[in-house]
Amino acid sequence: MSSSSSSSSPSCPKKMITLKSSDGETFEIEEIAAVQSKTLENMIDENCASTPVPLPNITGKILAKVVEYCTKHAEDGADAESLRAWDAEFVSVDHPTLFDYILAANFLEIPTLLNLACQSVADMIKGKTPDEIHKIFNIKSAFTLEEEEEVRRENQWAFE
């Protein structure tokens, strides 16, 4: 008896896709994981993924994490509870990285990652005042103090 395969089919080698980041790094991802991206799925369907796929909007640092996310979500047998815990850890990053996840997920059309990252941002601002949100995200006001007072007077109901 051969010890070659117990859970995977030996006759079906894993099909790999190569992705190239904006800073020239290349990453290999299994096709089964890559198709979580509607953008990559379309490229595969159109036979446009036989050479490295350039991703000019995504750095190597972020692309590595996107590949990790897609690979984890393509694994067989991952129970929902452990996947939720893994996802929570995945988005426990600094704000710029989280926003880069959102941009990458949007560009690659990965709805599960986009929803996860956006929900993380929503959770950060839930129940916060506009001033607290400005501080969290280092947002400078576009209004002068006089203009801001006028907006607050005109929309007093929103600040109650």
Predicted confidence (pLDDT) per residue in 104-135, tens digit = 999 999 999 999 999 999 999 999 988 888 88
**HEC letters along the chain:** CCCCCCCCCCCCCCCEEEEECCCCCEEEEEHHHHCCCHHHHHHHHCCCCCCCEECCCCCHHHHHHHHHHHHHHHCCCCCHHHHHHHHHHHCCCCHHHHHHHHHHHHHHCCHHHHHHHHHHHHHHHCCCCHHHHHHHCCCCCCCCHHHHHHHHHHCHHHHC
Predicted confidence (pLDDT) per residue in 52-85, tens digit = 999 999 999 999 999 999 999 998 887 899 999 9
Decide: pTM greater than 0.95.
Answer: no
